[in-house]
Amino acid sequence: MNNRNQGLFIVLLIGAGIIILLGKLGVFAFLGRAFWPLLILLPGIILQLAYFSRSISSYWLIPAGMLTVYGVLFFLCNTWGWGLMDVLWPLFIGGVALGLYEYYTMSPVRLDQRIGWVSLLLGALTIVLLLVNLLGSALLYVIAIALIVAAIWLFLGQNKSGRMRR
């Protein structure tokens, strides 16, 4: 064995030893536990980039939007605790909404407008459900205050119009 091959062999042995040592120390298990949502997020981003480079058709934007939203959702929950899923579960609906919206707006052919309306409806539903989850019982206070303000506004408007009629 010449010196060059012997040096390469030594480097490979050292590299294999380091990989085995890191595996036994749990580094790879930690990386797998911490970064598995990237296995969902990266395909979504790759599909988006592939569409914008004109490599794939626009209907691939539907799973691209869904995978991107789900990857971000899982990354947030994996990082800050799965208790967040109690509040953020409407993002599953939002992923479908984003995928359909991207498909509708980016498609080179004229699509049925119902796809756009469904995407907007699902997006609005996502926002409403997120607000309900985030505000919780405080939402009832907001609704009560809004009703009181609306009643006062109607009352004052009726008095002004009642005075003007006389």
Q: Which two tokens stand for residue 130?
A: 């997120």
Helix H, strand E, coil C: the string for 102-143 is: HHHHHCCCCCCHHHHHHHHHHHHHHHHHHHHHHHCCHHHHHH
Q: At a CB cut-off of 8 Å and minimum separation 6, what does 84 contact?
A: 76, 77
Phi, psi for 137 (deg, rounded to 5) = -70, -20
Q: At a CB cut-off of 8 Å and minimum separation 6, what does 51 contact?
A: 57, 58, 60, 61, 64, 106
pLDDT tens-place string over residues 19-77: 888 777 877 777 777 788 999 999 999 999 999 998 888 889 999 999 999 999 999 99
Q: Residue 165 pLDDT more than 60?
A: no
pLDDT tens-place string over residues 77-86: 999 999 999 9
CA gap 36, 40 in Å, rounded = 8
Global pTM exceeds 0.75 = no
Q: In the chain, pLDDT over 90 holds for what percent of residues?
A: 52
pLDDT tens-place string over residues 35-45: 889 999 999 99
CA gap 99, 107 in Å, rounded = 12
CA gap 122, 137 in Å, rounded = 23
Q: Which candidate, 85, 64, 68, places its Cα nearest to that of 76?
A: 85
CA gap 98, 163 in Å, rounded = 51
The confidence score (pLDDT) of residue 161 equals: 58
Mean pLDDT of 101-121: 90
Domain boundaries, the chain: 1-35, 36-135
